[in-house]
Amino acid sequence: MTRLTTVYLIQSDSHVSQHYVGRTFNLPHRLKDHNAGKSPHTAKYRPWRLVVRLDFSSEQSARDFEKYLKSGSGRAFMLRHFL
């Protein structure tokens, strides 16, 4: 069985201009970690809500797409289509 890798976009409820892109195998657990303050990059902007999740059957494809979303053109794509 293939394990799916999820690329996700979350947005802060308290600071709506703040968003975070990440990659995980277990999105519910990862989102709980973000909202519990366990990630130093997201702790001060809690609480977070899920905006988009994209599941990939290839971990490499997920890694590549996450990297793209964190690039200049990827950020523009994300803001135009997801936020």
Report the CATH number at residue 12.
Answer: 3.40.1440.10
Q: How far apart are CA 38 and CA 48, in angstroms?
A: 12
Compute the distance between CA of residue 8 and CA of residue 31 in angstroms, rounded to an integer: 10
pTM (global) more than 0.75: yes
Instruction: State the pLDDT at residue 19.
Output: 96
Flag whether pLDDT at 15 surpasses 80.
yes
Q: What residue spans of 1-58 are helical by DSSP H?
A: 27-35
The pLDDT of residue 57: 97
For residues 54-78, give the mean pLDDT: 97
Provide the residue range defining the domain that includes 73. 5-81
- pLDDT range class, residue 74, cuts 50, 70, 90: very high
Query: Is residue 1 pLDDT above 70, yes or no?
Result: no
Within 10 A of 31 (CB to CB), how many other CB atoms are there?
19
The closest alpha carbon to 39, from 54, 18, 53, belongs to: 18
